[in-house]
Amino acid sequence: MKPVKVGLMGLGTVGGGTFRVLLKNAREIARRAGREIQITQAAARDYDPETVPGIENIEVLNDAFALVDNPELDIIIELIGGYSPARELVLKAIENGKHVVTANKALIALHGNEIFAAAQKKGVTVAFEAAVAGGIPIIKAVREGLAANQIEWLAGIINGTGNFILSEMRDKGRDFEDVLAEAQALGYAEADPTFDVEGIDAAHKLTILASLAFGIPLQFEKTYTEGISKIEQQDVIYAGELGYRIKHLGIARKTPKGVELRVHPTLIPERRLIANVDGVMNAVLVKGDAVGPTLYYGAGAGAEPTASAVIADVVDVTRALTTDPENRVPHLAFQPDELSDLPVLGMEDVVTAYYLRMNAADQPGVLAQVTGILGDAGISIEAMQQREPAAGETSVSLIMLTHSVQEKQMNAAIQKIETLDSINGEVTRIRMEQLDG
Ligand code: HSE
């Protein structure tokens, strides 16, 4: 059989990794795909040829639009990243009847609905395994492996940089800024590291996972996003003393009223496997009604782990080249005309438990005032700790874990607590999930 001809856009970290792995494992990959896969042309502006040995044997264009117009190419791999010109290039490739493989989570989360509609019209595939959790085949697992299930919820550590920061803060007592600088030097952080620490990168990935899990259109703009930049060392310590770890989680849950879609720091019991996923590693816990909880773990970033997912998609697309478009796996797991209009819930409607920390005057009756406000709001306290005042101090830290409550109620209670004369400053609130099966 004739080799399949592939055009590669982008020769940065992932592009270079993809080129290297395809060359290194060419024979093994061809045995799986049923034919040889050849990158015959690439497009890149800035790249270091030393990191892509063998690239001198193919043509590298300056203009990526010329690449997507090349009639010889069957599949285009988009590893440029960002929204534009990636969107225009992918749409042009589709218009030209080419299949597309991309690692671009931002592109899929924001423009996926438009891109998939165009691909469906043209009868081509847009594959995006590498867009979520790097080398972990989580898209394949949710879209195909769990196809028998009603997926109830999923929760993931889907940003390696953020997880590295939180792990180092807990294990080594290091400061936020110091660890972030190291993650940037290691090449894990996004070009704009606020995407990592403010949860935008995780929200892109969660948007995609939720659509696959529940069969809803991609709705990045409705995903609640809160970062880790305000997490303090003392909260990491208190959480540990109470048997919890703080992780930056993306959580999607289907409820009778709608879908919860939220990225925020979260206390989770330290005995859960996912609580022990440290450093730059990623993990996604998925709860299906038939299978129960399943956990997927691995490298969520990096050149060759991400290349592993990109090439798996190229193999999938190659195998499906001769399949009728309507018999291919749908982009969002469900048939396009079967997507549901289940609403995405606002954060005030989300139901979750909380860790609260407040600085209280060390005087009689303060605890009663605080618990009174929580009790009046119907919020039940699960555990509580009061720290002794430091030498010379007249205030103490009060730490409380609550049972689940609607966020709206918790917001109102926190507002009242903050108006108490005996409470100094703001109440720190971190959401808490048990993640039990
Ligand atoms: N910046 C991302 C991370 C890279 O740290 O996980 C992979 O998407």
Q: Which residues are catalytic?
A: 205
Q: pLDDT-based confidence at 394, cuts 50/70/90?
A: confident
Residues 310 and 426 in one domain: no
Q: pLDDT-based confidence at 308, cuts 50/70/90?
A: very high
Classify residue 356: in a domain, yes or no.
yes
Classify residue 247: in a domain, yes or no.
yes
Classify residue 14: in a domain, yes or no.
yes
Extract the tokens encoding 159.
């940003």
With pLDDT > 90 as the criterion, what percentage of the chain qualifies?
89
Classify residue 101: in a domain, yes or no.
yes
Residues 178 and 261 in one domain: yes
Q: From CA 342, how far away is CA 337, in angstroms rounded?
A: 14
Q: pLDDT-based confidence at 433, cuts 50/70/90?
A: very high
Range of the domain at 379: 350-432
Domain tally, the chain: 3
Q: Is 353 close to ligand 1, i.e. is its CB under 6 Å away?
A: no
Residues 244 and 149 in one domain: yes
Residues 175 and 289 in one domain: yes
- Residue 151, pLDDT > 90, answer yes
Q: How far is the CA of 12 from the centre of ligand 1 (A)?
A: 14
Specify the pLDDT at position 189: 84
Residues 215 and 330 in one domain: no
pLDDT tens column, 325-376: 999 999 999 999 999 999 999 999 999 999 999 999 988 999 999 999 999 9
Classify residue 344: in a domain, yes or no.
no
Beta bridge partners of residue 60, listed in sequence order? 42
Residues 155 and 86 in one domain: no
Classify residue 345: in a domain, yes or no.
no
Specify the pLDDT at position 34: 96
User: Average pLDDT for residues 318-326, to the nearest whole number?
Assistant: 93
User: Average pLDDT for residues 67-92, to the nearest whole number?
Assistant: 97
Q: pLDDT-based confidence at 66, cuts 50/70/90?
A: very high
Looking at ligand 1, which atom is closest to the CA of residue 158?
Answer: 6
Q: What is the CATH number of the domain that holds 364?
A: 3.30.70.260
- Residue 282, pLDDT > 90, answer yes
Q: Any idea what DSSP says for residue 344?
A: B
- Residue 437, pLDDT > 80, answer no
Q: Which of 104, 167, 190, 248 to mutate to test the pocket of ligand 1 (most atoms within 8 A of CB)?
A: 190
Residues 396 and 326 in one domain: no
Q: From CA 22, how far away is CA 55, in angstroms rounded?
A: 12
Candidates 249, 412, 417, 261; CA nearest to 350 is 261
Q: From CA 340, how far away is CA 350, in angstroms rounded?
A: 20
Residue at which a domain ends, from 236, 268, 299:
299
Q: pLDDT-based confidence at 177, cuts 50/70/90?
A: confident
Q: Is 316 close to ligand 1, i.e. is its CB under 6 Å away?
A: no
Residues 29 and 91 in one domain: yes
Which of these ranges, 16-20, 362-366, 384-388, has the smallest mean pLDDT? Answer: 384-388
- Residue 103, pLDDT > 90, answer yes
Classify residue 437: in a domain, yes or no.
no
Q: How far is the CA of 302 from the centre of ligand 1 (A)?
A: 8
Q: Is 211 close to ligand 1, i.e. is its CB under 6 Å away?
A: no
Specify the pLDDT at position 89: 98
Q: Is 301 close to ligand 1, i.e. is its CB under 6 Å away?
A: yes
Distance of CA 327 to CAs 9, 149, 335, Å? 28, 20, 10
User: Quick check: 284 and 209 in contact, CB under 8 A?
Assistant: yes
**Buried/exposed code over 136-169 (b: 16+ C-beta within 10 A; e: otherwise):** bbbbbebbebbeebebbbbbbbbbbbbbbbbbbb
Q: How far is the CA of 129 from the centre of ligand 1 (A)?
A: 14
Residues 100 and 227 in one domain: no
Q: What is the CATH number of the domain that holds 244?
A: 3.30.360.10
Mean pLDDT (the chain) is 95
Specify the pLDDT at position 133: 97
Q: From CA 101, how far away is CA 32, in angstroms rounded?
A: 18
pLDDT tens column, 227-270: 998 898 899 999 999 999 999 999 999 999 999 999 999 999 99
Residues 243 and 286 in one domain: yes
Q: From CA 116, how far away is CA 429, in angstroms rounded?
A: 39
Residues 146 and 229 in one domain: yes
Q: Between 56 and 177, whose confidence is greater? A: 56
Q: What is the CATH number of the domain that holds 319?
A: 3.40.50.720
Classify residue 396: in a domain, yes or no.
yes
- Residue 188, pLDDT > 90, answer no
Q: From CA 45, how far away is CA 294, in angstroms rounded?
A: 41
User: Quick check: 333 and 143 in contact, CB under 8 A?
Assistant: yes
Residues 247 and 153 in one domain: yes
Q: From CA 351, how far away is CA 404, in angstroms rounded?
A: 6
